[in-house]
Amino acid sequence: MSNINWRTINIDALDPESAYNFDLTTLTPAVQPVSTSDVQTLSGQIRQLVRGGDAEGALRGALENAPYGADDQGKQIHLSTVTEVLGQIRQTEMTPLLQRMYQSEGGSELCDTLMKYLYKGMAQGTSHTTNNSVHGRSMTPQATGFSQAGGRSFGAAEGGGQAMSVFLSWHEKLVEMVGPGSIVRVMSDRRTV
Amino acid sequence: MAAPEVHHLFHAPISDHSFSDDRSTLAVARDNNVELYHRSGKTFNLQDELRGHDKLVTGVDIAPQSGRIVTCSQDRNAYVWEPSESGEWKPTLVLLRINRAATCVRWCPGETKFAVGSGARIIAVCYFEQENDWWVSKHLKKPLRSTVTSVAWHPNSVLLAAGSTDGHARVFSSFIKGTDERPEASPWGERLPFNTVCGEYLNPTAGWVHDVAFAPSGNALAFCSHDSNVTIVYPSGPEQPPQAVISISTQQLPFTSLLWSSETELICAGYDCSVYRLMGDANGWQITGSLEKDNGRPGLEQREESALNMFRSMDLRGRASSADDTKLKTVHQNSINTARIYQESGGNVQKVSTGGVDGRVVVWTL
C-alpha cells in the first residue's frame, strides 16, 4: 500500500453514488446502431435520386435517414452525401424547397437535421470536400500555427470555399424560416450527425 | 388588452420573485438578499430586506395563506421567514442536508411542505416537525442523475414535478406520513408512497429542462427545455404509457419559465425576452403569439422623425437614425427568469408577472 501514489487515485471511481460510475448513455435518446455498409448503401440510393433529377427527394431521404447510430466513418460518408445533394440545388430553389419541407409532416425535425449538417459541414472547413486534391492541399502544415484558419483561406481559392458558400447560403435561408430555435436545438441535441 | 405594468426595481438580475396573496408585497431575490417591496399607488417601494444567505439567492416563494416566505440559496441553505411581533422578519434554518447549491424552492398548495431542488441531484421535501420545532427534510434521490432546475406542485400537494439537467422531467410522490392526507387517485397513480416515480419524460433531443408545471386540474404536465421545445404530457393511468405526449419545436430561443393560465393555455417566457402564449389540448398545441404589442415599444415614447432630428443625430452620433438600437423592442431588456401567476379567479389566470435579468418585474394582462 505504501508505494501507491494516493494523489492519483480516482476517488470518483470509489464512490458508488458518483456520476463517474453511471452510464450516461441511458439518459440520452436511444439511437439504433447503423453499420458503415448500410450508410454506403443509403448514400448510393440518394445519389441515384440526385442523378434522376429529384434533388428534393434525395435531400429528404438523406435527412430522414440520418445515421445517428453510425460510427465516425459512417457519419462522415453521410455528411459528404448531404453536402453533395445541397450543392446540386440552385439558390433560387432553396427557399421554396425549404418551405415545402418545413410545412410537411415532421418538417421541423427535418429542418433541425439539415441545420445539424450545415454546422457539421462548416466545422469541417475544407478538410472534407469531395475534391481530393483540395483535401491534400489544405492539410499542409502552416507556419503560423493557425492551421484551421489558414486551411480555410487556402481552400477558398481551390473550391473548398464553394462548399462553404453553399452551407452559408443554406444556413441563411434556413434560419429565416426556423428562427434561432433550430440553432439552439442543434447545440443541445445529443443525437449528433 | 391593457399595457403591461413595468416596475424597474434595480440594475441587477432577479433570479426569482414572488407576490403575496393580496399583491401588495413583492419579494425579489437580489444577489445574497431578498428584498421586500411594498406597493404604494402605482409603484413598489423597498420596505425590508431579508439578510441571512451568504451566496446568491436562487429561489423565493411566499405562501399565499400563511404569508411565510421561504428562500433558498447557493450557500446550500434554505430559510423560512416569519414576521415576529415587533414586525421584523425572523428566519428559521431548514435542515436540507445537501452538499451542493439549492436551485429552486416552492411551497406546496397546502403550505405544509415545500420542495427544494439542488445541484446534489436531490430534491429535499421539507416539512415542519412539531416535537422538535424544526423544519426537516426528506430526500427524493432516485432516479435523478443531475442538477434539479425546477420543481412544481400538483394541486393535491403530494405529487411533485421536477425538471433536471439530465433532460428528464419527472413526477414524484412526496407523501409524508403525518403531514399529508392520503391523496385521491389520479391518472398519475393510486398508491403513492414517498419517492414513487409516477412519470419520467425525456424530450426528443434530451436538452436540459428549464421549468415544469402542472395544469390547474393536475391532469397534465408541461415542461420547457433548452432545445426550444415545449412538451405537454397527458397521462392515461398508473403504470401506463401516457395518452399523449405533445412536443412543440418553437422558432424562439429557449423558454426558461412556463405556467398554465387555463387548461388549454400556457404562458412561456425565456431567453427571447418576451412572453408567449401557447394554446391547445390533448390533440395538439401551437404557439399563438406574443403578449408584446406588435408595433413600437410599449412604455417608451416613439420620437417623431424629423429632418432636424436626423441632422442632429448625424451630428451627435454619426448615424442618420435617431433610433437607439441598444434598446430591445421587448418590454424586458434581457432574458426572463421566472413567470408567475399574479391574479386569477375561478381557475383562469388574468394576470401574470415576469422577472428578468434586467431587474424588471412586469405584470401582464392576458
pLDDT, tens only, A34-43:
999 999 999 9
Chain A hits for B166, Cβ within 8 Å: 27
**What pLDDT, on the 0 to 100 scale, is given for residue A131?**
44
The residue type found at A2 is: S
Where in the sequence is the domain holding B229, given as residue range(s)? 5-292+336-365
- Between B218 and A154, the more confident residue is B218
**Nearest chain B residue to A179, by CA:** B251
Domains of chain A: 6-27+35-188 (1.25.40.190)
- pLDDT of residue B310 exceeding 90, the answer is no
Mean pLDDT, range B64-88, rounded to an integer: 94
* Residue A30 at interface with chain B, using a CB cutoff of 8 Å: no
* pLDDT tier, B327 (very low <50, low <70, confident <90, very high otherwise): confident
At B110 the pLDDT is: 93
Long-range Cβ contact pairs of B354-358 (< 8 A, separation 24 or more)? B354/B257, B354/B269, B354/B275, B355/B14, B355/B16, B355/B17, B355/B28, B356/B13, B356/B14, B356/B273, B356/B332, B357/B13, B357/B14, B358/B8, B358/B11, B358/B13, B358/B332, B358/B333, B358/B334
The pLDDT assigned to A162 comes to 83
Complex ipTM value? 0.83
Question: B228, A112: Cβ pair inside 8 Å?
Answer: no
Q: Which CATH number covers residue B63?
A: 2.130.10.10
What is the spatial distance between Cα B24 and Cα B38, in angstroms, rounded to a whole number?
6
For the residues of A122-164, what is the DSSP string, one character each? HHTTTSS-S-HHHHHHHTSPPTTS-HHHHHHHHHHHHTHHHHH
* Residue B85: all three cell numbers together: 411581533
Query: Is B249–A112 a contact, with Cβ atoms under 8 angstroms apart?
Result: yes
- Give the integer Cα–Cα distance in Å for B136 and B124: 9
Q: Which residue has the cell 412556463?
A: B258
Which grid cell is B200? Answer: 419520467
pLDDT at A141: 45
Which positions in chain A touch B202 (Cβ < 8 Å)?
A: 27, 29
Bridge partners of B159, per DSSP, are B173
Instruction: Using a pLDDT cut of 70, give the percent of chain B over it.
Output: 95
Q: Minimal CA–CA distance to B349: which of B362, B360, B340?
A: B340
Residue B16 has pLDDT above 70, yes or no: yes
CB-nearest partner of A185 from B146, B166, B249? B249
What value, to the nearest 5°, has the Cα angle with vertex B167 and ends B164 and B171? 55
For residue B328, what are the contacts with CB-CB under 8 A and spacing of at least 6? Answer: B273, B334
A92-99: average pLDDT: 93
Least reliable range by pLDDT among A88-102, B17-31, B86-100, B304-318: B304-318
For chain A, the first-to-last Cα distance in angstroms comes to: 47
In a domain, B140, yes or no: yes
pLDDT score for B300: 44
Domain assignment present for B324: no
- Please give the tally of structural domains in chain B: 1
pLDDT of B275 above 70: yes
Looking at the domain assignment, is residue B311 inside a domain?
no
Name every chain B residue with its beta carbon within 8 A of the beta carbon of A112.
249
pLDDT reading at B304 higher than 90: no
User: Is residue A176 within 8 angstroms of chain B, CB to CB?
Assistant: no
Q: How far apart are CA B335 and CA B272, in angstroms?
A: 6
Res A97: pLDDT: 94
Distance, in angstroms, between B229 CA and closest chain A CA?
8
For residue A153, the model assigns a pLDDT of: 44
Interface residue of A25, A27, A182, A193 to substitute, partner B, most B CBs within 10 Å? A27
In a domain, B297, yes or no: no
Residue of B nearest to A175 (CA): B251
Residue B91: which of B69, B112, B114, B111 has the closest Cα? B69
Does any CB of chain B come closer than 8 Å to the CB of residue A16? no
pLDDT at A134: 40
The tens digit of pLDDT for each residue in B93-140 reads 999 999 999 999 999 999 999 999 999 999 999 999 988 888 999 999
Q: Establish if B133 belongs to a structural domain.
A: yes
Residue B335 near residue B271 (C-beta atoms within 8 A): yes
Q: pLDDT higher for B11 or A4? A: B11
For residue B365, pLDDT over 60 is answered with yes
SS3 content of chain A, % helix, strand, coil (to 5): 70, 0, 30
Say whether pLDDT at A132 is over 70: no
Pick B254's closest partner by Cβ from A22, A29, A184: A184
B305 pLDDT higher than 70: no
pLDDT at residue A129 is higher than 70: no
The pLDDT-based confidence of A60 (bands split at 50, 70, 90) is very high
What is the rounded average pLDDT of the residues B72-99?
94
Chain A's closest residue to B249, CA to CA, is: A108
pLDDT value at residue A16: 79
Of B122 and A141, the one with more pLDDT: B122
Residue B331, domain member (yes or no): no
Q: What is the pLDDT of residue A146?
A: 47
Residue B306 domain-assigned?
A: no
Q: Estimate to the nearest angstrom the gap between the alpha carbon of A163 and the chain centroid.
A: 14
Is residue B30 in a domain?
A: yes
What confidence tier does B320 reach under pLDDT thresholds 50, 70, 90? low
**Cβ contact A179–B250 (<8 Å):** yes
Which residues in A lie closer than 8 A to residue B206 (C-beta atoms)?
27-29, 188-191
Q: How many CB atoms lie within 10 A of CB A178?
A: 23
Q: A72-88 and A36-51 helices cross at what angle (nearest 10)? A: 10
* Least confident among A131-135, B20-24, B237-241: A131-135
CA–CA min distance B240, chain A (Å): 20
